[in-house]
Amino acid sequence: MDSPAEASVELGAITRNIAALRAHVAPAALMAVVKANGYGHGAVPAARAAVRGGADWLGVVHVAEALELRRAGIDVPLLCLMAIGSDNHAAAIAADVDLAAGSADMVRRLAAVAEAVGRPARVHLKADTGLSRGGATAADWPSVLAAARQARDDGNVVIAGLWSHFASADEPGNPSIQAQLTVFKEALAVAEGAGITPQVRHIANTAAALDVPEARYDLVRVGGGGYGLATLPGGPPAWLRPAMTLRTRLVLVKRVPAGTGVSYGHRYTTSRETTLGLVPLGYADGIPRTATGLPLVAVRGRRWRIAGTVCMDQMVIDFGDEPVAEGDEVVLFGPGDDGEPTAQEWGEALGTISYEIVTGIGARVPRSHRE
């Protein structure tokens, strides 16, 4: 292995997280979302771990992600949440992948492909209830339903789901949560009036699955929660375990005198004779440049500040008189078992969320998987 770094993934943690979440949201079914390479954890191994934990469905964003899972032999119900722009709908329909549609035009396109394939497309119709991203507005919703009903009656579409997505479910008490639930109920009622009864209704993400029981409906979509992460204030509940640990080793250690400028721009200067250690990870590997100066690295059971600018491929730690040595393990984040930072702490320190931290770890950092 060329890289001394690795992102180690505890698959058993994913399995246990999914099992715990499934029990928490029962009787609703649970979809484990494994988009973005399983939130950086590895899509196929994460999906298999989630299925072992009892995931009833899997969710991805792109058709290519769905087909990767099917090629790996994973045959549970699978929803592609954003099939827009794909030119491979035929392969998805043939592989029994459910597809999302948020416009009448998308429904008609999927119906035409299904007719050519000779197999109905399983479609989840998306209502925009207030996120103002994908999905049909209340004004456009009737036309989406009409197109879907016609395609269903023609035998080209199965209306498998009606769904939406929250804007602020990770802000407990935010008035938009109840506002969106009201709009979703209205969308479901309009669908019922149009003679459409879906197999599943779903709006809850991880935050809503944990904190908004009335949002669970028939199915919840759990993304970060399956990996032991959450965007709720304070992070995930203690019964969810972060699955990824990012570690590497010191590749160089040296003593330098007081007044030594460190890294680009000399944004850090040593105040006394000290030991510097070189960590072979940088912003090309997903370590944000804004982490400069923050105590987000654990070595020898202690936390240390990043000294000077985070570079593309490396960064420097000022260890003072700590007797560190080349080859010492460096942990950037993990589950926190030994006092190391967590992805939640990284996110809070940098003004972002843990999801961005784990999905941002670059492809040249090898993933390893263990139970």
Find the CATH number of the domain harbouring 325: 2.40.37.10
Do both 78 and 21 map to the same domain?
Answer: yes
Do both 89 and 218 map to the same domain?
Answer: yes
Average confidence (pLDDT) over 213-229:
98
Residue with tokens 């375990």, as numbered in its chain: 241
Q: Which is nearest to 170 in space by CA: 205, 138, 143?
A: 205
- Domain total of the chain: 2
Do both 284 and 333 map to the same domain?
Answer: yes
Do both 220 and 253 map to the same domain?
Answer: no
Do both 291 and 175 map to the same domain?
Answer: no
pLDDT attached to residue 149: 98
Which of 35, 39, 217, 227 is flagged as catalytic?
35
Do both 205 and 112 map to the same domain?
Answer: yes
13-49 as b/e: b if 16+ CB within 10 A: bbbbbbbbbbebbeebbbbbbbbbbbbbbbbbbbbbb
The residue type of 352 is T
Q: Which of 185, 201, 227 is the last residue of a domain?
A: 227
pLDDT attached to residue 28: 98
Q: Is 35 among the residues known to form the active site?
A: yes
Is 238 among the domain residues?
no
Question: Rounded distance, CA 244 to CA 361, Å?
Answer: 11
pLDDT attached to residue 15: 98
Question: Rounded distance, CA 98 to CA 336, Å?
Answer: 37
Question: Rounded distance, CA 69 to CA 45, Å?
Answer: 10
Do both 219 and 271 map to the same domain?
Answer: no
Q: Is 254 among the residues known to form the active site?
A: no
Is 239 among the domain residues?
no
Average confidence (pLDDT) over 263-278:
98
Do both 162 and 307 map to the same domain?
Answer: no
Is 347 among the domain residues?
yes
Question: Rounded distance, CA 42 to CA 24, Å?
Answer: 25
Whether the per-residue pLDDT at 268 is higher than 80: the answer is yes
pLDDT tens-digit series, residues 21-79: 999 999 999 999 999 999 999 999 999 999 999 999 999 999 999 999 999 999 999 99
Average confidence (pLDDT) over 2-27:
96
pLDDT attached to residue 226: 98
pLDDT attached to residue 84: 77
Q: Which two tokens stand for residue 349?
A: 């320190």
pLDDT tens-digit series, residues 282-302: 999 999 999 999 999 999 999
pLDDT attached to residue 363: 93
pLDDT tens-digit series, residues 319-358: 999 999 999 999 999 999 999 999 999 999 999 999 999 9
Long-range contacts formed by 351-354: CB under 8 A, 24+ apart: 352/288, 353/231, 354/224, 354/229, 354/230, 354/231, 354/235, 354/242
- For the chain, the C-alpha Rg in angstroms (whole number) is 24
Label residue 85 by pLDDT band (50, 70, 90): confident
Indicate whether this model's pTM tops 0.85: yes
CATH number for 135: 3.20.20.10
Do both 252 and 179 map to the same domain?
Answer: no
Question: Rounded distance, CA 11 to CA 19, Å?
Answer: 13
pLDDT attached to residue 2: 74
Whether the per-residue pLDDT at 364 is higher than 90: the answer is yes
Q: Which of 192, 227, 262 is the last residue of a domain?
A: 227
Do both 34 and 132 map to the same domain?
Answer: yes
Distances (CA, A) of 209 to 130, 216, 343: 18, 6, 21
Range of the domain at 315: 244-370
Is 235 among the domain residues?
no
Question: Rounded distance, CA 6 to CA 246, Å?
Answer: 6
Average confidence (pLDDT) over 226-242:
97
Is 154 among the domain residues?
yes
Is 261 among the domain residues?
yes
Is 234 among the domain residues?
no
Q: Which of 227, 260, 283 is the last residue of a domain?
A: 227
Do both 265 and 158 map to the same domain?
Answer: no
- The residues with which 99 forms a beta bridge, in sequence order, are 80, 123
pLDDT attached to residue 83: 78
pLDDT attached to residue 166: 98
Whether the per-residue pLDDT at 1 is higher than 70: the answer is no
The answer to whether 345 touches 296, Cβ cutoff 8 Å, is yes
The answer to whether 274 touches 322, Cβ cutoff 8 Å, is no
> What rounded mean pLDDT belongs to the chain?
97
Q: Over pLDDT 70: what percentage of the chain? A: 100
Do both 138 and 284 map to the same domain?
Answer: no
Is 233 among the domain residues?
no
The residue type of 346 is W
